Amino acid sequence: MNLLIDSELTISIIQKNFNEVYPFLKLEFLDTLHIRSKFSFKSIKLSPDNKLKILTGYDIKEQININYERTILEVERDFFEKLVIFVRIYRRTGKVWVETSLTDNWTLKQQNEEGKQLSML
């Protein structure tokens, strides 16, 4: 399964398409990572109204593999390597979204299932 990335799409459309496959995961597009200290960083989320062409400055026609067996790290890395865009995937836990950085070696399926279970509590 591939996520179509086109420069004319807005971030919100890409997020919606991702969320249709993984309802307990959220894809956030980020500005470059801003270092706060040696051990932490602050990410600035980009507006979902932005078109990718405005963010990258060039036309994009790409596909990102979001099959169930892919890990969070692999998908996030693909966005950077193919598009030079920072993304982070969050998992729903109840009513809040948590970073998956400590479990980025889990598959998308594992993360989505964990989010489903934690949201039912």
The pLDDT confidence band at residue 33, using thresholds 50, 70 and 90, is low
What pLDDT band is residue 34 in, cutting at 50, 70 and 90?
Answer: very low
Domain limits, the chain: 2-119
Q: pTM of the predicted model, to two decimals?
A: 0.87
Look at residue 36 in the predicted model and tell me its pLDDT: 46
pLDDT recorded at residue 75: 97
List the one residue out of 91, 120, 86 whose CA is nearest residue 108. Answer: 91
CA angle 53, 55, 56 (to 5 degrees): 70
End-to-end CA distance of the chain: 30
